[in-house]
């Protein structure tokens, strides 16, 4: 696959430009921001049926896509791509003519203002009783010793049409996440603002998996590597065994002795891929992430399948795969979803042996997205368009 590149100076707002390009895109597209770089990708020169890491290496191009909670997904090599970084826009396409068109589209991007109008969603009340019931069932399994922890989510319908591009821009202006994403790919539209990166792999095979610390600010004890079985009596201990699980998963694909845990309780588990292993092997063992499933993972996933089947991209991840083997994997843990004519919000909470705040936690996470829901047409009204 041939790739033509062109670098042009760009002094504007990269996220605003990428979102505006997505708004006018007639084909599937992805906007992804990682704090230093903003990506816009459009079209599908190739739909990826195998490992996206292999496809990126084979094509010499970045592969974009998403993987669902049950490890299905959709990945593509885009027809055109813009990578914004350090005042420069790097344009990529199949030929020079396509680069000309892409450069003109970028030059024509206008300043974007979004009105303050918002769509109200019933994030506090919808499904509350059903969610409490699911939490109760999970607690019973935890107290019976079948589970240590499990992440259960709540879905809230959005009662009117939402402008995904305007919502993405409004939400990003109001938050400072580790990652933000906006995509229309594989029959799904998804946007979100995530505080964490679940997996990163560099071109040399170095892997890092990050886990946020336990909630509640409880004291931390050095229990991460304790071998004897113990019930999840506190959030701290539950977090510690989650860290240990991630370390064990990475050990299955990394060089012996290379897996390390640092900065506990806000843990980074690192390792070096074994010879013959690819970055996608790391993803295969780590997804669904423990932050979206639970411990033990198989039993937690079985419970999730019973009480909330068909999660789709929620609990999965948005993935960028580079030709050198590097991967950026962002968990989809709080976002807006549109599929088959329905639009909804979804977010979850970690259920441990002592229930109480799960419903409130989901409400807080849902509000972190719902307060940015922009009604369809608001973007154009603010700009004076018809």
Tell me 215's DSSP state. Answer: G
User: Phi and psi of 18, rounded to 5°?
Assistant: -65, -40
Q: Hey, what are 386's tokens?
A: 């018809």
- Number of Cβ within a 10 Å radius of residue 261: 18
Q: Report whether 378 contacts 115 (CB < 8 A).
A: yes
For residues 263 and 271, what is the distance between their CA atoms, to the nearest angstrom? 15
* Cβ-proximal residues to 133 (8 Å cutoff; 6+ apart), any chain: none
| Active-site annotation holds for 103 | no
**Long-range contact list for 48-51, CB < 8 A, 24+ apart?**
48/75, 48/76, 48/77, 51/278, 51/280
Least Cα distance to 14 among 191, 174, 169, 178 occurs for: 169
Q: Report whether 23 contacts 15 (CB < 8 A).
A: no
C-alpha torsion angle, residues 20, 52, 243, 261 (rounded to 10): -100
Q: Which of 196, 255, 268, 382 is catalytic?
A: 196
For residues 210 and 291, what is the distance between their CA atoms, to the nearest angstrom? 10
Catalytic residues: 196
């Amino acid at each position: 696959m041939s790739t033509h590149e062109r670098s042009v100076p760009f002094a504007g707002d990269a996220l605003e430009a990428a979102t505006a390009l997505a708004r006018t895109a007639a084909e599937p597209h992805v906007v992804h921001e990682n704090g230093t770089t903003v990506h816009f990708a459009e079209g599908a020169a190739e739909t990826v049926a195998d490992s996206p890491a292999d496809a990126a290496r084979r094509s010499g191009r970045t592969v974009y896509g998403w993987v669902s909670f049950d490890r299905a997904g959709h990945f593509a090599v885009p027809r055109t791509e813009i990578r914004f970084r350090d005042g420069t826009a790097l344009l990529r396409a199949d030929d020079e003519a396509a680069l000309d068109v892409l450069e003109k589209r970028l030059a024509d991007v206008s300043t974007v203002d979004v009105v303050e109008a918002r769509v109200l969603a019933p994030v506090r009340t919808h499904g509350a009783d059903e969610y409490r019931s699911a939490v109760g069932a999970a607690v019973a399994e935890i107290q019976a010793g079948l589970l240590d922890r499990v992440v259960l989510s709540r879905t809230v319908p959005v009662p009117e049409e939402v402008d995904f591009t305007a919502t993405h821009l409004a939400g990003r202006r109001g938050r400072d996440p580790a990652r933000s994403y906006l995509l229309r790919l594989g029959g799904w539209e998804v946007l979100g603002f995530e505080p964490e990166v679940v997996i990163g792999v560099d071109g040399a095979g170095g892997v890092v998996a990050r886990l946020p610390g336990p909630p509640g600010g409880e004291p931390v004890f050095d229990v991460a590597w304790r071998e004897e079985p113990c019930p999840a009596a506190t959030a701290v201990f539950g977090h510690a065994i989650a860290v240990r699980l991630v370390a064990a998963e990475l050990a299955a694909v990394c060089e012996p002795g290379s897996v390390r845990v640092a900065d506990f309780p806000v843990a980074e588990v690192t390792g070096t891929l074994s010879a013959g292993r690819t970055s996608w092997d790391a993803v295969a063992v780590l997804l669904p992430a423990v932050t979206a499933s639970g411990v033990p993972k198989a039993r937690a996933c079985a419970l999730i399948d019973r009480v909330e089947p068909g999660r789709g991209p929620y609990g999965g991840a948005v993935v960028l795969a580079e030709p050198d083997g590097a991967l950026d994997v962002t968990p989809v843990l709080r976002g807006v979803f549109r599929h088959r004519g329905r639009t909804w919000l979804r977010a979850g909470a970690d259920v441990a042996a002592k229930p109480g705040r799960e419903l409130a936690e989901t409400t807080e996470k849902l509000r972190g997205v719902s307060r940015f829901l922009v009604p369809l047409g608001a973007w154009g009204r603010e700009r004076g368009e018809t």
